[in-house]
């Protein structure tokens, strides 16, 4: 009897719910006169102060001409409507992407290589919609691949690291042990050797799973271990885990008002995280790439396939601001700028670790 009762209840609920569903939503965001752009973030969400945040900044810049914090982004607004979804879990990525596709959005951007297989599924179902994926690979005719020459940026910060180095040993802290991160490490090592050919580079990775991006405790342990082996500059390419290395160099302390050990941030400008301890940050300008692909769609110049952003297109860079100015001498800066020009002109070739495979 109890069972029968509950079953009836269940049926009633379903009927009521179906009734409600007849009123389709009539929210805004359907202005078809404008180009409509949807962006699906990675699990981290748009406020991760790194990769996703950078992508969001690009979208925001394209829609309003301003960064998300309201300051001018230096580029014109593009007359688009932009919407974003933070799926929060792997199961929601597909429906999030489809939510945009169902509504006929013009461009759907996926952030992070993990979305690649799902984007391929959806892109096949909607051949007339343009897709773009950051860091991913796909051969579909309507998917643009936004990639970065992380090795080039890493080469420059590697030079800076070697210049700042006193012990003859520097460290590299990677997140997940994958090709993409090896690209950072290899470029970094080459840059350092260009300055000091016999420099020792210690490389460690936080882990092999997604969790490796989000384990600052282990990041700190690894950084401390590198410090104990003599490394005095550590480049992190480990997402959130990298923040552990910031703690580690701070713990190592200062002598005469100068930090004894330095860290190099990644993706976004992290110079202000621990001012005085951060030599520089290797910027991965996802915002620039996102802005430019939106610009292509708006101007009807969208092209599928590879879009590589290197030093030339401001896709990667090293961060200079008031926080790290005291740490970098004009002489260091001059040498790095020279190298930058040589890389852009092709005079210096930086090894891409992912090409080797």
Partner 1 sequence: MIFLRQLLFPLIAVIAAFIVGGILILIIGDNPIEAYRLLLGSALSWPDGIGYTLFYATPLIFTGLAVLVAFRCGLLNIGAEGQLYVAAFATAWVGISFANMTAWILLPLCFLAAILAGGVWGAIPGILKARFGSHEVINTIMLNFVAVALCSYFTQYHYKNPGPIMETTAIGGGAHIARLGRFVPGLPERIPVNVAFLLALLCCLLVYLFLWRTKWGYELRATGTNPTAAAYGGISIRKQIIIAMTISGSLAGMVGINEVLGYRYRYYDGFSDNYGFTGIAVALLGRNHPVGVVVAALLFAVLQRGGIHVDGFSEYVTKDIVQVLQGTIILFVAAEAFFSGSFNRFGLLKRAKV
Binding residues vs partner 1 (CB under 8 A) = 2-3, 5-7, 9-10, 13-14, 17-18, 20-21, 23-29, 38, 83-92, 94-96, 98-100, 102-103, 113-114, 116-117, 121, 125, 178-180, 208-211
- Smallest gap, in angstroms, from Cβ of residue 285 to partner 1? 21
Q: Reduced to 3 states, what is the DSSP secondary structure of residue 144?
A: strand
Instruction: Answer whether 216's CB lies under 8 Å from 189's CB.
Output: no
Beta carbon of residue 96, minimum distance to partner 1 (angstroms, whole number): 5
Which C-beta is closer to partner 1: that of 92 or that of 351? 92
Taking the complex as a whole, how short is the minimal distance between the CB of residue 149 and partner 1, in angstroms?
Answer: 17
| Nearer CB in complex with partner 1: 17/255 | 17
Asked if 145 and 305 touch (Cβ cutoff 8 Å), the reply is yes
Is the CB of 179 or the CB of 217 nearer to partner 1? 179
Distances (CA, A) of 288 to 59, 223, 291: 9, 31, 5
Q: How far apart are the C-alpha atoms of 162 and 205, rounded to whole Å?
A: 21
Cα angle 51-57-61, degrees, rounded to a multiple of 5: 155
Contacts of 193 (CB under 8 A, 6+ apart): 158, 162, 199
Cβ-based nearer residue to partner 1, 180 or 328: 180
Contacts of 293 (CB under 8 A, 6+ apart): 107, 109, 132, 144, 146, 302, 307
- Residue pair 293/74 in contact (Cβ under 8 Å)? The answer is no
Question: CB-wise, 35 or 156, nearer to partner 1?
Answer: 35
Distance in Å, CB of 95 to partner 1, minimum: 5
User: From the CB of 45, what's the least distance to partner 1, in Å?
Assistant: 9
Closer of 22 and 255 to partner 1 (Cβ): 22
Looking at the Cβ atoms of 36 and 307, the one nearer to partner 1 is: 36
The string of DSSP codes covering 114-126 is: GGHHHHHHHHHH-
Radius of gyration of the chain (CA): 23
Instruction: Identify how many contiguous H helices and E strands the chain contains and give both numbers.
Output: 10, 14
Residue whose CB is less far from partner 1, 92 or 260: 92
Of 280, 274, 284, which is closest to residue 249 (Cα–Cα)? 274
Q: For the CB of residue 299, give the shortest distance to partner 1 in the complex, in Å.
A: 25
**Residues in CB range of 122: below 8 A, 6 or more apart:** 94, 97, 98, 101, 108, 131
CB of 119 to partner 1, least distance (A): 12
Residue with tokens 């690009």: 58
**Least Å from the CB of residue 266 to partner 1:** 17
């Amino acid at each position: 009897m109890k069972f029968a009762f509950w079953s009836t209840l269940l049926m009633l609920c379903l009927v009521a719910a179906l009734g409600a569903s007849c009123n389709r939503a009539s929210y805004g965001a359907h202005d078809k006169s404008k180009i409509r752009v949807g962006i699906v973030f990675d699990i981290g969400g748009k406020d991760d102060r790194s990769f996703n945040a950078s992508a969001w900044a690009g979208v925001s810049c394209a829609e309003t001409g301003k960064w998300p914090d309201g300051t001018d982004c230096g580029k014109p607004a593009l007359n688009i409507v932009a919407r974003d979804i933070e799926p929060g879990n792997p199961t929601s990525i597909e429906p999030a992407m489809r939510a945009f596709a169902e509504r006929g959005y013009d461009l759907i951007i996926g952030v992070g290589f993990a979305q690649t297989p799902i984007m391929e599924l959806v892109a096949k179902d909607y051949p007339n919609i343009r897709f773009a994926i950051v860091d991913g690979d796909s051969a579909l005719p309507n998917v643009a691949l936004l990639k970065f020459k992380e090795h080039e940026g890493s080469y420059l910060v590697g030079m800076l690291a070697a210049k700042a180095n006193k012990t003859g040993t520097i460290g590299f802290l990677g997140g997940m042990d994958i090709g993409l991160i090896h690209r950072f490490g290899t470029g970094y090592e080459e840059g350092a050797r260009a300055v000091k050919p016999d420099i020792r580079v210690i490389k460690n990775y936080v882990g092999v799973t997604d969790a490796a991006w989000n384990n600052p405790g282990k990041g700190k342990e690894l950084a401390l271990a590198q410090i104990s082996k003599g490394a005095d500059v550590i480049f992190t390419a480990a997402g959130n885990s990298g923040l552990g290395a910031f703690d580690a160099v701070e713990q190592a302390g200062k002598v005469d008002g100068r930090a004894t050990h330095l860290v190099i941030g990644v993706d976004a400008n992290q110079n202000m995280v621990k001012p005085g301890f951060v030599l520089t940050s290797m910027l991965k300008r996802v915002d620039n790439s996102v802005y430019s692909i939106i610009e292509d769609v708006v101007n009807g110049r969208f092209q599928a396939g590879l879009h590589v952003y290197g030093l030339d297109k401001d896709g990667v860079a090293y961060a200079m601001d008031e926080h790290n100015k005291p740490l970098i001498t004009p002489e260091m800066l001059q040498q790095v700028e020279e190298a930058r020009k040589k890389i852009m002109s092709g005079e210096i070739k930086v090894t891409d670790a992912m090409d080797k495979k």
